[in-house]
Chains A and B, each alone.
Chain A
Amino acid sequence: MKEFELEPGEHVVLQVRKHWFLFLAELLPYAIMAIVPFALPKLLVLAPPLAQYAAFFDFTTPLMRAAFGVWLLVTWTGAWSAFTRYFLNAWVLTNQRIATIKQQRFFNREVSSLLLPRVQDVTTNISGVVFSLLGIGDIKVQTASEDVEFVMRGIPRPEQMRDLILKYVSTKPQTTNI
C-alpha cells in the first residue's frame, strides 16, 4: 500500500469498495444521456405535432455527426470518471486498523486511519428492500471519544465486515502500563 505504510506484522485483511449496485446507479444518468440521441428521433415521430423536428436528427450531416460525437464523448468521459471515483474510494481493514481512502474529486484525497484497539462499538445498518436483498449497508465504527467515528456507506455484506472488525479487535487485547 502506498497510501500508508504497514507496520511490522501488519497485513491487509480486507479491502472493500461501494457495492456494484450503487456504482451502476451512478452510471444511470450517463446511460440515459447516451440513449437520448438514439431514442429522441423515434419518440418525436410518435408525437404528430413534433414529428417534423425528428428530421433534425440526421446524423449523416457533418454538423450533427460532430455534435453527436462530442455528446457521446462527454457522456463516456463522465461515466469513466464515475468509475475512477468508484475505484479510488476504498476502505481497508488490516489486523491493526481501519483505513478510509476518500477521493472526493481530483487532487482532493483524504486518507485516515483508526487503530482497532480504540474501537468501542461497531454498528451495521441495512435499510430498504433492495439493500436487504443485495446485502448493502452501512457500518459505523465508534471510539471512546464521541467525536471520532468511521462510517462506511453502501458497502457489500456489512455484517461480514463488522464480524471481521470485532474479530481483530478481540484478538489483539489492549495492553496497559498499569
Chain B
Amino acid sequence: MVDQPLQPFAPPSALFAQLHLPDTISAGVAVTWALYIVFAFWALYTLVAVYHWLKYSHASWVAFPAIALHLFISFALMAYALSGNAFSLTPYLP
C-alpha cells in the first residue's frame, strides 16, 4: 500500500458545500425537513410513552407533571433547533 499523507479533517460546513442538492432545494430546507422527520419520531415515541403513563401509573400524581415537564423541555429544544429561541432555556444553551 502506497503511503499517503493524512488528509485534513473536513468540517461539516465544507461537507455541506460539496453537497449537490437540486437547485429547487436549499440546504436550509433540507435541514428543516430532516428536523421535522426527527420530530415526527419523537411525537410517536412520546405518544406511546404517555399512553403507558396514563394506563399504568395507577392515577399517580406523578404522571401529569412528568408528562408536562417532558413536553415543555422537548418543545423548548425543538424551538431551539428550528429557530435558536428556546423559551426560558435559551440563556443556558450555547
The answer to whether A109 touches B56, judged by C-beta atoms less than 8 angstroms apart, is yes
Q: Which residues of A contact B40 (CB under 8 A)?
A: none
CB neighbours (8 Å) of B20 from chain A are: none
CB-based contact B77/A72 at 8 Å: yes
Q: Does B73 contact A (CB under 8 A)?
A: yes
The reply on A113 being an interface residue by CB < 8 A is: no
Task: Mark interface residues in B53-73 (1 if CB within 8 Å of A CB, else 0).
Answer: 101111010100010011001
The residues of B that contact A83 with a CB separation of less than 8 Å are 66
One of A2, A57, A69, A88 near B81 (C-beta < 8 A): A69
* A63 and B31 within 8 A (CB): yes
Say yes or no: A87 contacts B78, CB within 8 Å.
no
Which B1-37 residues sit within 8 Å CB-CB of chain A? 9, 11-13, 16, 27-28, 31, 34-35
Instruction: Tell me the dominant secondary structure on chain A's binding face.
Output: helix
Binding site for B on A (CB under 8 A): 1-3, 37-38, 53, 55-57, 59, 61-66, 68-70, 72-73, 76-77, 80-81, 83-84, 87-88, 101, 103, 106-107, 109
Distance to closest chain A CB from B94 (angstroms): 4
* Given A68-B94, A87-B66, A103-B56, A63 and B49 contact (CB-CB distance below 8 Å): no
14 A/B residue pairs, CB under 8 Å, sorted by A: A2-B55, A53-B11, A61-B13, A66-B82, A68-B94, A69-B77, A70-B81, A72-B93, A76-B74, A80-B69, A87-B53, A87-B62, A87-B66, A88-B57
For the complex, what is the distance from the CA of A38 to the CA of B34, rounded to whole Å? 23
Q: Are A73 and B28 in contact (CB under 8 A)?
A: no
Assess whether A88 is in contact with B56, with CB atoms less than 8 Å apart: yes
Determine the distance from Cα of A157 to Cα of B70 in the docked complex, in whole angstroms.
Answer: 30
Which residues of chain B are within 8 angstroms of A77 by Cβ–Cβ distance? 42, 45-46, 70, 74
* Residues on A with beta carbons closer than 8 Å to the beta carbon of B46: 77
